[in-house]
Chain A
Amino acid sequence: MAKTHAGPTETDPILHRWSTLVADVLLDHRVHMFGYVPDEVSGHLLRRLEAEPACTVVCCTREEEAVATVAGAYLGGKRGAVVLQTSGIGNSMNALGSFVVPYQIPMLLIVSERGGLGEFNPAQVPLGHAVPRVLDALGIQTFPLTPEAEIAPVLAGAAELAFATMMPVAVVLTTRLTGGKTLR
């Protein structure tokens, strides 16, 4: 429904490969509900998921809304993930800390990395850098998805951890994996 941005990396075969691997693991684990705020890096993954008939993909106005919507879908019987960039974790704190964690509602947080290797924007650095510690402070574990050979085992392990132990779990789409943002 929502049109995502087709950036210049759209036809890059490397981008195709990682997003296909990620989508396949998510579908294997019956993760079918997605909430997101657009981001260049995750655009391709989202288009792939939107093409899956089993998936519901919701474009939200704020990442906190995406967390709450995906949590609601879990209550309604659908496993889900929030796709967001590191700054979106900042926008999600209250929904995570005073709803998802205390109610033990599992979900995946698929975070595209900003503020680390290759970053060009000073405004992305402090929060991007703080994300794993901020999540850790809430008891949420974070796992980087690098290198490509480890995407499947790490993401599958994160899904198992989340849905078996009823906790949100974060995975990071690192710039080393995705090549980072190209639109400057």
Chain B
Amino acid sequence: MLQNENAPALIQIRDLAKEFDPQSKNTVEALRDINLDIEEGKFTVLIGPSGCGKSTLLYLLAGFEKPTRGSLLLDGKPVEKPGPDRGFVFQDYALFPWRTVLGNITFGLRSNGWSKADADAKAREYIAMVKLNGFENAFPHTLSGGMKQRVAIARALAYNPRVLLMDEPFGALDSQTRKHMQQELQRILMQTNKTVVFVTHSVIEAVFLADRIVVLTARPGMVKGIIDVNLPRPREYTDDSYLDIREAVLSLLSEEVEKELEMDGM
């Protein structure tokens, strides 16, 4: 990868804070003082205890929510609203039930001025990439969870966004399918070289996929620590070279999970 050491990171997060209902007495401070650089072509995983603000951070990057303080720059420009320079993969797929697999995947292309023929051809490339050949005309409700998430990934990649944002995309899948999807995602990303920000609860998933793992504290979410995972790809589940990385992530995380349990009075 051509990574100029001096070039600013693709995503720059500066002194970011997010509070929900800041005026009322039910204010929830979700994120505090987040400073983070996300580099082009890198797979960044956000991990942290439940309710620490992982989704919130991703929603801020997506432009679904606005920061209370601080700034979020993508390619030097502030993130203000959702737009096709980013792709989003939701935990519960968020496929359009009224569109076929092909229709879902062409949506982003058609919304950005592609002709129907070109969009169809491009979508078919991505259908092949996620191995859904033969399901072009199927409606989402006829697909399994794993297949739906493949469609969602293809849909988010097809219009070639700069960044792919993924919020626990495999959280609703059984463990067998989940493992398989992690390997598939690795394979797809080795082909596309996409910048990814990925939220998960699973340390194993984090270490398997990440170039860099950002551990957040219990609410309000702050950056607790950053762990780089410099392991060659493709990675295999049989690799035990990353057991010590798992240990490192777990020890950071477990402190925070305990804090969170205390907060909940458990």
Q: Are A and B physically bound partners? A: no
